[in-house]
Amino acid sequence: MKKIVIASNNPGKLGELTALLKPLGIEAVAQSLLGVEESDEPHETFLENALAKARHASRATGLPALADDSGLCVASLKGEPGVHSAHYAGRGGSRDERDARNNAKLQAELLGHEDRRAYYYCVLVLVRGPDDPAPVVVDGTWEGEILEGPRGTNGFGYDPYFETDQRGLTAAELPAEDKNRLSHRGKALSRLAARLNAAGINWPGPPCAR
C-alpha cells in the first residue's frame, strides 16, 4: 500500500480523507503522528493555503503529501467565511468550542438576510516532494443553504446547519458513506483519483513523473 502524509490535524478531515483514500490503496498518515506541526495559512485563497500546507508536510517528512483547504462560502456574505472558516470567530478554545462560536457568528451575520444559499468548497493539492514543480490540483463544491437551527449529530464544523442539495438533509444528518460520496471533499478526491489514473503517474514516483 502506498503511503502519504495528510497535511492536517483536523480530526474530521483526517477521518474523511482516510476513509476516501483507503479504497485507492493509499495509506494516509496524519502529520501529527510524524511530529509535524500545522503550517501557517496566511493566504487569501484556498489554493495557496493548500499548496503551502502540502509542501510543509512533505518537507518535514520526506513523504508525498496531500493537503486539503476547504471552507464554507455564503452568497449573501460575499463568500465569507471562506478561507477563514475554521477560525471565523477566533482561534481560542477546543475545536468543538470554536465550531460553536463559528456557527453562532454565522447565524448572527445572516440575521435579516433572506438569501441563505451557500456552498462548501475544497481544493486538494498533492505533491510528490516538497519542491514538486507540478503539483496535482483538484477541487470540488457542494451546494446547499444555511438553516436557522442545527439538525443532525454527524460531521463537524458547519455541517449541522448546512442543508445539502441532495435529499433535504443537513451534512450532519447524512451517513458517513453518503457524505464521503456527495461532499466537496469526496468530489475532489474522486477527481484526484481520475487524474492520477488518466495520467498514468507512477505513484508516488519522482516529482516530474508523468
Task: Answer yes or no: is 144 within a domain.
Answer: yes
**What's the pTM value of the predicted model, to 2 decimals?**
0.86
Strand blocks (E) in 101-209? 117-127, 136-146, 162-164
Task: Answer yes or no: is 170 within a domain.
Answer: yes
Task: Answer yes or no: is 129 within a domain.
Answer: yes
Residue 7, pLDDT above cutoff 70: yes
- Bridge partners for 140 per DSSP: 122
> Residues 147-172: what's their mean pLDDT?
92
Task: Answer yes or no: is 206 within a domain.
Answer: no
Query: How many domains, in total, are found in the chain?
Result: 1
CA geometry: angle at 144 spanning 22 and 150, to 5°?
Answer: 90
Task: Answer yes or no: is 107 within a domain.
Answer: yes
Residue 196, pLDDT above cutoff 60: yes
75-123: pLDDT as tens digits:
999 999 999 999 999 999 998 999 999 999 999 999 999 999 999 999 9
CB 2 within 8 A of CB 26: yes
Residues known to be catalytic: 69
- Per-residue pLDDT band for 19 (boundaries 50, 70, 90) equals confident
Task: Answer yes or no: is 207 within a domain.
Answer: no
The mean predicted confidence, pLDDT, of the chain is 89
* Residue 111 belongs to domain spanning: 2-199
- Per-residue pLDDT band for 208 (boundaries 50, 70, 90) equals very low
Residue 210, pLDDT above cutoff 80: no
CATH number of the domain that 14 lies in?
Answer: 3.90.950.10
Does the CA dihedral 7-8-11-12 come out positive or negative? negative
Residue that is written with C-alpha cell 464554507 in the block: 72
Task: Answer yes or no: is 125 within a domain.
Answer: yes
Residue 207, pLDDT above cutoff 80: no
Task: Answer yes or no: is 210 within a domain.
Answer: no
